[in-house]
Structure 1
Amino acid sequence: MTVVPEGDIAGLMSAEAAFEAVEATFAAMSRRSAYNFPVIREAIGHADALYGFKSGFDRDALALGLKSGGYWPGNAARGLTNHQSTVILFDADTGRVKALVGGNLLTALRTAAASAVSIKHLARPDAKVLGMVGAGHQSAFQMRAACAQRDFDKVVGWNLHPEMLSRLSDTAGELGLPFEAVSLDELGAQADVIITITSSFDPILKAGQIRPGTHLACMGTDTRGKQEVEAALLTRATVFTDEIAQSVSIGEAQHAVAAGLLAESDVAEIGAVINGTHPGRRSAEEITLFDGTGVGLQDLAVAAKVVELAEARGVAQKIPF
């Protein structure tokens, strides 16, 4: 069995490699050559933690396995990342354990890659202002990945706790971009692309705050009850997602569907746009929204890639199991 510890991931996996792996995964899902198994995600009644499993199988890549982990809100006080996860890969031919891979950094990279894939395929080519809603740990990964897809000249941001906006300001500075802290009204008025990356259970952005031509990547809603944008916003937008079943049950679309504002058939797969079976954005005035729920196949794809890189560089740890 190959072991790639969490501490080795940063030296092996790049944002570019994560992007390629996730884009290929979404395409495979839309071709029906890869599929996810039902998600298990539960509050465990201890430490306010959410814990679960995401798993799946890609027949083309022979990627089989699961990611186990969740969210421990008290970890920051312990000097640990709130999101904790581990990926286990299995040999698709025999069922034997193939690899154990640290999943914390990979989760951040694959989540940012997903929104970046949506920006590549759905945002207007002339998008110049990036809006960020949320300034938590993953926001920096999101901003960097987004800026690799469009030639932004400014970043605007909002966070429930303004004292955390320094993360966005610092990351924009690293990218050579000016940053402005703004109200939600102003963010919607300025931004051509908006990324929401929060753990909110109440809608933050309202339908009336979004102007025509905007692309939104809503990346924080992955559990029943979570919500980052008003349900009515989805009726103004053309909605895309990683996996439709997750979008309408635990993703951002769950609220619009429950309210009767949106049908499951109204949600399209981002993989169909990648494969050319859906036209994607049809006009410069269209609002597009990507509901990034996070699928197990993303985790398997980036974990398999990091194992490949570790073995190619001769740094993979091999243990009998």
Structure 2
Amino acid sequence: MLIVPERDIADLMTRHAAYDAVEKVFAAMASADAYNFPVIREAIGHEDALYGFKGGFDRAGMTLGLKAGGYWPNNLEKHGIINHQSTVFLFDPDTGRAVAMVGGNLLTALRTAAASSVSIRHLARDDAKVIGMVGAGHQATFQLRAALEQRRFEKVIGWNFHPEMLPNLKAVADEAGLPFEAVELDGLRAADVLISITSSFEAILKPEHVKPGTHIACMGTDTKGKQEVDPRLLAQATVFTDEVAQSISIGEAQHAIAQGLIGESDIAQIGAVVNGDHPGRRSAEEITLFDGTGVGLQDLAVASAVVDLAVEKGVAIEVDF
């Protein structure tokens, strides 16, 4: 079995490689060449942690496995490590043997950012100039860096529950040579693309905060009860997702579905746009919304890619197992 430790991931996996892996697996899902297994996600009754498993099988890429991990909200304060912790396990689909164990923390951040950037590339207007961020935590910086590569943005604006965290976004904007402006929620109407990446259980982004033609990537809702967006926005938008089953059960669409504002048939897979089976954006005035719930196949795709890179560069650790 091969081991790729967390410490080696940063030197192996790039944003571009993560984007390519995620885009391909979304296409495979839409073509029914890949499918996710049911998600297990539980509160363990210790340290307020959520722990679970996401897995699946990609027949096109011959990738089988799971990601184990979750969210420990006290990690940063108590232990000086990030709150999200995970490990990816890959298995040989021909024999069932374990073939690799891969550190999943940075990969999770990269694949989540890649998912929203896939949606921006395929759904945002070509003339998008202003990108707005709702959330300014650890993952938000990954989201912003990946998003800035998808359009010729000229400005970054941002809002966060805790304004003292907004310098995180400004630092990324500075790296890109772009101006940054902290705004109130009403100020988000200036954005052509919006990314929400929070752990909120209450709607933040409302219809009055979004102008016609905006593309919204909702990336924080991945658990029953979580919510970043007013359900009325989904009713006004053309809605896309990574996986429809997750979108309606643990994603942003769960609330709009529960209120009867949209139906399951109103949600399209982003992979269908990648494949050319769905036209995606149809007009400059259309609001498009991507409900990124985070699927196990994303993790397997980037983990498989990083294992190949580790073998190629001679840094994979081989152990008898």
TM-score > 0.5, shorter chain as reference: yes
How do residues 209-224 of structure 1 correspond to structure 2 at under 5 angstroms?
Answer: 209-224=209-224
Partner of 1:320: 320
- What do the CA deviations read for 1:75-106 (whole angstroms, capped 9, x no partner)? 00110110000000001111000000000000
Distance in 1, matches of 2:176 and 2:10, equals 19
Quote how far apart the aligned CAs of 1:208 are: 2.0
- What do the CA deviations read for 1:240-279 (whole angstroms, capped 9, x no partner)? 0000000000000000000011100000000000000000
How do residues 92-131 of structure 1 correspond to structure 2 at under 5 angstroms?
Answer: 92-131=93-132
Which 10-residue stretch deviates more, 204-213 or 1-10?
A: 204-213
Partner of 1:136: 137
| 2:161 alignment partner, SS class | coil
Distance in 2, matches of 1:101 and 1:127, equals 36
Distance in 1, matches of 2:93 and 2:82, equals 31
Is 1:157 the equivalent of 2:163? no
Partner of 2:16: 16
Normalised by the length of structure 2, the TM-score is 0.99
Runs of 4+ in structure 1 displaced over 4 angstroms?
Answer: none
Distance in 2, matches of 1:278 and 1:182, equals 35
Q: How many residues align?
A: 320
Residue type of the alignment partner of 1:283: S
| 1:16 alignment partner, SS class | helix
How do residues 151-190 of structure 1 correspond to structure 2 at under 5 angstroms?
Answer: 151-187=152-188, 189-190=189-190
Quote how far apart the aligned CAs of 1:284 are: 0.2
- What do the CA deviations read for 1:278-301 (whole angstroms, capped 9, x no partner)? 000000000000000000000000
| 1:286 alignment partner, SS class | coil
Partner of 1:84: 85
Is 1:246 the equivalent of 2:246? yes
Distance in 2, matches of 1:209 and 1:314, equals 50
Partner of 1:63: 63
- What do the CA deviations read for 1:144-164 (whole angstroms, capped 9, x no partner)? 100110000000000000000
Partner of 2:38: 38
Residue type of the alignment partner of 2:167: S
Distance in 1, matches of 2:316 and 2:208, equals 51
- What do the CA deviations read for 1:9-59 (whole angstroms, capped 9, x no partner)? 000000000000000000000000000000001111110001000000001
Residue type of the alignment partner of 1:176: G
Residue type of the alignment partner of 2:311: E
Quote how far apart the aligned CAs of 1:207 are: 1.4
Quote how far apart the aligned CAs of 1:317 are: 0.6
Normalised by the length of structure 1, the TM-score is 0.99
| 2:309 alignment partner, SS class | helix
Partner of 1:235: 235
How do residues 256-267 of structure 1 correspond to structure 2 at under 5 angstroms?
Answer: 256-267=256-267
Quote how far apart the aligned CAs of 1:60 are: 1.3
Distance in 1, matches of 2:313 and 2:196, equals 36
Residue type of the alignment partner of 1:145: A
Partner of 1:293: 293
Task: Give unpaired runs (5+ residues) of structure 2.
Answer: none
Partner of 1:271: 271
Distance in 2, matches of 1:145 and 1:92, equals 31
Distance in 2, matches of 1:186 and 1:9, equals 37
Partner of 2:146: 145
Distance in 1, matches of 2:60 and 2:277, equals 19
Residue type of the alignment partner of 1:294: G
Residue type of the alignment partner of 1:292: G
| 2:234 alignment partner, SS class | helix
Residue type of the alignment partner of 1:166: P
Task: Give unpaired runs (5+ residues) of structure 1.
Answer: none
Distance in 2, matches of 1:248 and 1:148, equals 30
Partner of 2:307: 307
